[in-house]
Structure 1
Amino acid sequence: MSEAAAQTLTVLIPLRAKPRGGRKAMVTPGVLALERRQDITLIKAVARAFRWRRMLESGQFTTIKELAAAERINSSYVSRLLRLTLLAPDIVEAILDGRQPEEMTLPALMEPFPVEWDRQACSPGERLRLARAPDV
C-alpha cells in the first residue's frame, strides 16, 4: 500500500439543527434552501385554530373554556392558538405553501404579535416577519 493511499481526508461541513415540524432538520448556514418544506406542526396548528374559531362563531361552543373541555386540552392553549387566526392572509398562505422562514415556528408564533395586518409582512422576495407587539 502506498503512503498516499493511507492518508485520511477530513471534510468539515458547518451544520446546525433547526426544529421543523416537530423534527430536527440539518441546515447549512449561509446557503439558501433549494426547496421549502411544509411545517406540518404549524399547518395543523393554523388549521385547528381556524376550525375552533368556526366552532365558536357558529355557536357550537359558547366559550373557550367549553371548547377546551370538549377538546380535552387546556383553555390557555386554545386561547393562544386562536390568535393564529389573526395572521394576515398572505402569512397563512405562506405557511400552507411552506414558504415561511426557518424562524417562523409554532413556538415563535405563540409569542405576542401585532394584530394589524400592515405590521405583519409577507410578500415575494421579502422574508416573512412579524414585528413584535408593543409592550402595554
Structure 2
Amino acid sequence: MAARATLHCLTGCAIGEILGMVIGTALGWGNMPTMALAIVLAFFFGYTLTLRSVLRSGVDFRTAFRIALAADTLSIAVMELIDNGVIVLWPGAMDATLSDVLFWGALAISLAVAFVVTTPVNKWMIGRGKGHAVVHRYHH
C-alpha cells in the first residue's frame, strides 16, 4: 500500500516537475524560478490526482480538498526535497537543457531516488492511519 501511495504521489510530482522544468527552460528562466514553478506544479498535480479520486466517491470539494492536503502534503514535500536535492547536487544537471540527455537522466534518477526515500514515509503514515490510509477509505 505504501509503494502504491508513493507511486501515486510520484505521478503527480513527475507531471508537475517535468511541466515546470519544460516551461521554465523553454521560456529561458533561470534555475531558481524554474525550480519554484516545478515545485508548485508538483504539489498542484499531486493534490489534483487525489482530489479527483476522492471527489469521485461523492465527497464535497471542501472535504476532498482537506483529505488531499492531509494525505499528500508530507509525501509530496519529502519527494520534492529529495528530487530537487538530487538535481541541485548532480554536477551540471541544473544547467542542462531539454535536449540534453543529462536533463532527462538526472530527472529520472532523482525521481527514482525520491520514490525510494518517500515510500517508508508513506508506510509510516499509513501505519498510523494517516496519509493515503485516509484516502483509501474513499476508494470503491
**What TM-score do the two structures reach when normalised by structure 1?**
0.27
Higher relative contact order (CA 8 A, sep 6+): 2
Of Structure 1 and Structure 2, which has the larger fraction of its residues in helix? 2
Is the radius of gyration larger for structure 1 or structure 2? Answer: 1
**What TM-score do the two structures reach when normalised by structure 2?**
0.27
Of Structure 1 and Structure 2, which has the larger fraction of its residues in strand? 1
